[in-house]
Structure formats: structure tokens, C-alpha cells
Amino acid sequence: MRVISLAGGIIPGLISTFLLWLGLPGGGGLWPVLLFALVPFLYLIKIKRSRTRFYLGLFAGIFHFLLQLYWIVIVLGRYGGLPWYFAVPALFL
């Protein structure tokens, strides 16, 4: 069995996150993509160390969460009057 490192596991996590974003409303609304969006993420089950699996799942979850909340930057800019260079860090907070 091949060992997957932390750096090698980030790519499947990002692919899965992007596919989930494409399938949900706001990202593209291509709902059939949701049928196989988690397949790259499930590839990470092969990782032996549970700490590495935890960090990869945490990274993918945070990235997916930030992609779904893109609208906060727009709201803070339009209705809050914040420039984008203040609105983007506010999204991360």
C-alpha cells in the first residue's frame, strides 16, 4: 500500500472541495457533480496516520466553508462600505 503524505493529500482535498462548490448553489448549481464530489476526498482514507487525516479533513472543510461564504465579501463591500482589502480578511475572521 502506498503511503500518502500531507502534501500529496492536499490535492485530492482541494479537488473534492472544488467539486462540492460546483455542485451547490452559488458555485455553479451543477447538482449531478455532487454524486461523485467526495470520491477524491475518500481517497485520503489510505493515509495511515490519523493526525494527517485529521488535518487534511480540517483543511478541506475550512476551504469549502470559505468558498461557500464568498458572499460575505460582497455584502461587506456593498452595504458596509468596506474596500475589498478589508472585506477579505474579515471573511477569514
Structural domain boundaries in the chain? 6-92
Contacts of 62 (CB under 8 A, 6+ apart): none
pTM of the predicted protein model: 0.74
In contact, 63 and 55? CB cutoff 8 Å: no
> To the nearest whole number, what is the mean pLDDT of the chain?
85
Closest CA to 14 of 48, 69, 62: 62
* Residue 85: predicted pLDDT: 92
Q: Given pLDDT bands bounded at 50, 70 and 90, which one contains residue 53?
A: confident
Determine the average pLDDT of the residues in 16-37: 87
pLDDT at 69 over 60: yes
